[in-house]
Amino acid sequence: MNNDDSFARIEQFLSEQLTGKDRRKYNEKRIYELGAKKPKGIKIPTPIALGMQAKRQERAKKELQEAKNLGLYHHSIKHNWADSISSLLNKNKKTYRDKGIRMGIGKVKDGILTLSSNDIKKVQNSNRIKKRSNNGKNGKIRKAVGGNKAKSKKKRK
């Protein structure tokens, strides 16, 4: 008899002695060892889950404050409270998401640049001189228009 065989027999003998909850736990553990997937957990309604999460964060914040008040908190051992701190920071932190290539004009989809007629007009009109006008609404950019004001006054008379 080798060691593996003897361990298997001891384990089998001990498993036969288990009763009730212990036996169910043991059998469940064996099933997971053989490759079964664990259940995802208990499903909770969203409002209740959000309330539980808020309460958890409140408790973590309170625990951290208590540690600071007692003098137990120091930046060199902050990893002891890392879970509570990170959960508080992640709540308010917005993650940056790279949205792909930005060329300034057109839209890139499936690796193909698509230009609309407005995009083409923007590029063609970029060579023209633009002038800011103070009497325009909201400081919009207007194109410089040539012409002589004196001539236009003479025509009106």
Tens digit of each residue's pLDDT, the chain (157 residues) = 677 788 888 888 888 888 889 888 888 888 888 888 888 888 899 999 999 999 988 988 898 888 889 888 777 777 766 665 565 556 556 666 666 666 677 888 888 888 888 888 887 877 676 665 565 555 555 555 555 555 555 555 5
Range of the domain at 152: 107-156
- 23 belongs to a structural domain: yes
State residue 133's pLDDT score.
58
- 39 belongs to a structural domain: no
Buried b or exposed e, range 55-78, using 16+ CB within 10 angstroms = eeeeebeeebeebeeeeebeeeee
- 112 belongs to a structural domain: yes
- 130 belongs to a structural domain: yes
Same domain, 142 and 118: yes
Q: What is the DSSP string of 62-76?
A: HHHHHHHHHT---GG
Same domain, 51 and 73: yes
Q: Indicate the pairing of strand 112-114 with strand 141-143.
A: unpaired
Choose among 56, 52, 72: nearest CA to 64: 72
- 97 belongs to a structural domain: no
